[in-house]
């Protein structure tokens, strides 16, 4: 059992949906990023997705691309991203942290060394968007053996023939991408997402979390109501990009979390 498994088990007994928040590590700067991450659990966040800055984030829209560029310009690295997780673990030993990013920085570090360092820093799961199931031996299988969940994305184009392959070695939860395209591109619609969530649920016992296109408390509520929870990323990153004070950013996160938890 990982922290992710424990969190979903607890939420199930409480009859609540999960709220997952994405932030880019190092955005707008290292110290502010640490402060934001430390504040997320108190704002109602059940699982933190911590973005690993990368120079070529192909799945991300302009909002998160720019966040990565800001972080890299501030000297953000894989080591400093792990340090943000390590900083949270000084005060919070229960909130799961999922590192989300691309394979190149991990491959450059070396998978065994990366997994050892990630585990030591308190990372609980990985989402690596450019590693398909056919490459599971690269990172997915080693990560699971190291005690980290490997979370896979399913999308509107993941048909019934492809879905079993996507689910094959997935653990922790399934991240359903509610829209076709990049992050921040459109608003998620619960009536369109519900049949897809039901289709995936028919093939797995894992929780289904829906992300992409969730921008408001009302949307968080409607999407969480047809899934096991929801993810908000671009809307939070926009608040950071606008230079809002940390307290104001966390108030915004709390409103989204309250929406998801009221589903």
Catalytic residues: 49, 60
> Tokens 């498994």 appear where?
5
Cite the DSSP H helix spans in 47-189: 62-73, 78-89, 103-109, 111-121, 140-145, 163-167
CA–CA separation, 41 and 94 (whole Å): 10
The helix (run of H) or strand (run of E) holding residue 126 is strand 125-128
CA–CA separation, 16 and 13 (whole Å): 8
């Amino acid at each position: 059992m990982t922290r992710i498994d424990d969190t979903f088990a607890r939420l199930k007994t409480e009859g609540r949906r999960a709220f997952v928040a994405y932030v880019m590590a190092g955005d707008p700067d290292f110290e502010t990023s640490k402060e934001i991450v430390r504040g997320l659990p108190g704002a109602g966040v059940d699982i933190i997705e911590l973005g690993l800055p990368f120079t070529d984030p192909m799945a991300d829209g302009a909002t998160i691309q720019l966040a990565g560029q800001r972080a890299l310009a501030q000297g953000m690295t894989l080591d400093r991203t792990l340090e943000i997780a390590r900083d949270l673990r000084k005060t919070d030993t229960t909130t799961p942290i999922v590192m989300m990013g691309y394979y190149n920085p991990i491959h450059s570090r070396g998978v065994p060394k990366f997994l050892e360092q990630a585990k030591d820093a308190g990372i609980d799961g990985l989402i690596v968007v450019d590693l398909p199931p056919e490459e599971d031996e690269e990172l997915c299988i080693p990560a699971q053996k190291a005690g980290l969940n490997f979370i896979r994305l399913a999308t509107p184009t993941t048909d019934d023939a492809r879905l079993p392959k996507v689910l094959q070695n997935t653990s922790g939860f399934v991240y359903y991408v509610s829209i076709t395209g990049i992050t921040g591109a459109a608003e998620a619609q619960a009536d369109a997402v519900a049949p897809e969530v039901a289709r995936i649920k028919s093939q797995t016992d894992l929780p289904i979390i829906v992300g992409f296109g969730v921008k408001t408390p009302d949307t968080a509520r409607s999407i969480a109501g047809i899934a096991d929870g929801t993810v908000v990323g671009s809307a939070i990153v926009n608040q950071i990009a606008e230079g809002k004070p940390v307290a104001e950013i966390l108030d915004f996160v709390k409103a989204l979390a309250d929406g998801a938890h009221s589903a």
